Structure 1
Amino acid sequence: MAGLASPDIDEATEIEVGPPVGWQTVVWNDPVNLMSYVVHVFRTYFGFDAATAHRLMLSVHHDGHAVVARGPRELMEAHAQAMHDFGLWATVRKDPT
């Protein structure tokens, strides 16, 4: 092709890649759901054992919230939606770690 400049393929390009940004699904305390129901949701949806589900439920109850999952944003959004479907309050946020 006459008249078209070809790109310089010898040109080096540096790309800096930072650590991947992680995300969290956070379940918040609410005045509606029983503690036993929250444990049930955590066990059935996330597959937590009884002790882990109970510990996370107590964090929700006493601290007002608990991080129940960490991972890619799309997956954390799916988890938050699932928590909404179960009637729990949940949000997604960047993982500060």
Structure 2
Amino acid sequence: MSWPPQWRGAGVAESESAVTLSAAKGATRSTVEDPVLEKETRSQDDVDLPWQVVVHNDPVNLMTYVTMVFQRVFGYPREKAERHMLEVHQKGRSILWSGMRERAELYVQQLHGYLLLATLEKVS
């Protein structure tokens, strides 16, 4: 690892597995260890079961904006996007998509990127 020129000699020491930082002369040293990553395990049922992407009503976003987001994220035609938007507005939620979990997680993430309230649910 190579440090930017402004950091070299400024109390930053390098090693293979850790970086030691000191703020000033006489300051205590602390070592930042490599993080331990835990592998997420999922049961076969979690992976195989269909999952659904649910969007929830909020008082902030305009109906036209929500319709546009559904068109962009899911590729829905305007009429279908408007039907889902009205369902969210009238019933408080709408199931936008169902299928494999990884794709559903991606859709939820994309909807969050547009500041919409979306969740992932198992199909029961």
Report the counterpart of residue 90 of structure 2 in structure 1: 62
In 1: Cα distance, 2:118 partner to 2:78 partner? 21
In 2: Cα distance, 1:44 partner to 1:78 partner? 14
2:62 corresponds, among 34, 37, 59, to 34
1:53 aligns with 2:81: yes
4+ residue stretches of structure 1 with deviation over 4 A? none
Letter in 1 for 2:59: P
Aligned residues: 79
Report the counterpart of residue 49 of structure 2 in structure 1: 21
2:102 corresponds, among 74, 82, 88, to 74
Q: Which runs of 5+ in 2 are unaligned?
A: 1-44
C-alpha displacement of 1:44: 1.3
In 2: Cα distance, 1:74 partner to 1:50 partner? 26
Q: TM-score, normalised by structure 2?
A: 0.61
Structure with the larger RCO, 1 or 2 (CA within 8 Å, 6+ apart): 1
- Structure (1/2) with the larger helix percentage: 1
SS at match of 1:30: coil
Letter in 1 for 2:52: Q
Q: TM-score, normalised by structure 1?
A: 0.77
Percent identity for Structure 1 against Structure 2: 44
Deviations 1:28-85 (A, max 9, x none): 0001100000000001111101110000000100000000111111111110010000
Q: Which runs of 5+ in 1 are unaligned?
A: 1-17
Superposed CA RMSD in Å reads: 1.5
Letter in 2 for 1:90: A
Between Structure 1 and Structure 2, whose CA radius of gyration is higher?
2
In 1: Cα distance, 2:88 partner to 2:51 partner? 18
